[in-house]
Structure 1
Amino acid sequence: MNADDDNLDASAGLLSLKLLRLFDLIYTTQSVTRAAEQLGQSQPTVSNWLGRLRKQLGDELFVRTAAGMQPTPRAEELIVPAREALAALRRVAAPSEAFDPSSSTRRFRICMTDASHITLLPQLLAHVRAVGPGIRLEAARIDGQTGQALQTGQADLAIGLVPWLESGFYQQVLFPQDWVCLVNARHPRITAKGMGLRDFKAEAHIGIVGGTGVQLLEAALLRQRVKRRILLELPGFLGLAAIVSTTDLVATVPRQIGETLARTNGLAVFDCPVPVPPFTVKQHWHTRYNQEPANRWLRGLCERLFAKKLNARK
Structure 2
Amino acid sequence: MNDADPILLEPKLLRLLDLLYTTRSVTRAAEQLGQSQPTVSIWLGRLRQQLNDPLFVRTPEGMQPTPRIDALIGTVREVLEGLRRLSEAEAVFDPASSQREFRIFMTDASHITLLPRLFSHVRALAPNVRLEAATMDARLVPALQSGEADLALGLVRGLEAGQEAGFYQQTLFGQDWICLANARHPRIGATFTLDDYLAEAHIGIVSGTGYQLLDATLKTLGVERRVLLELPGFLGLAAILSDNDLVATLPRHIGETLAKSAGLRVLACPLQVPSFTVKQYWYYRYHHDAANRWLRSVCAELFMDTR
Partner of 1:139: 133
Partner of 2:97: 103
Pick from 106, 115, 121: which aligns with 2:115?
121
Residue 215 (str. 1) matches residue 212 (str. 2): yes
Q: Which amino acid aligns with 1:22?
A: L
Residue 227 (str. 1) matches residue 221 (str. 2): no
Quote the Cα distance in structure 1 between the aligned partners of 2:116 and 2:24.
Answer: 63
Q: Which amino acid aligns with 1:112?
A: M
Pick from 201, 217, 237: which aligns with 1:204?
201
Deviations 1:251-273, CA, capped at 9 Å, x for gaps? 11111000000001111111111
Deviations 1:26-85, CA, capped at 9 Å, x for gaps? 122232222111001122321221121122111222233454333322212212221222
Residue 188 (str. 1) matches residue 186 (str. 2): yes
CA contact 1:96–1:293 (8 Å) conserved in 2? no
Residue 15 (str. 1) matches residue 9 (str. 2): yes
Partner of 1:76: 70
Pick from 28, 32, 45: which aligns with 1:51?
45
State the TM-score, normalized to the length of structure 1.
0.89
Q: Secondary structure at the match of 1:213?
A: helix
Deviations 1:111-169, CA, capped at 9 Å, x for gaps? 11010011011111111112222222111111222111111111111110112112321
Structure 1 unpaired stretches of 5+? 1-6, 310-314
Structure 2 unpaired stretches of 5+? none
Q: Which amino acid aligns with 1:133?
A: P
Q: Secondary structure at the match of 2:158?
A: coil
Quote the Cα distance in structure 2 between the aligned partners of 1:77 and 1:226.
Answer: 87
Identity of aligned residues (%): 65
Partner of 1:292: 289
Higher mean Cα deviation, 288-297 or 221-230?
288-297
Pick from 72, 77, 88: which aligns with 2:82?
88
Partner of 1:163: 157
Over the aligned positions, Cα root-mean-square deviation in angstroms equals 1.9
State the TM-score, normalized to the length of structure 2.
0.91
* CA shift for structure 1 position 297: 1.7
Q: Which amino acid aligns with 2:155?
A: L
Partner of 1:263: 260
Residue 246 (str. 1) matches residue 243 (str. 2): yes
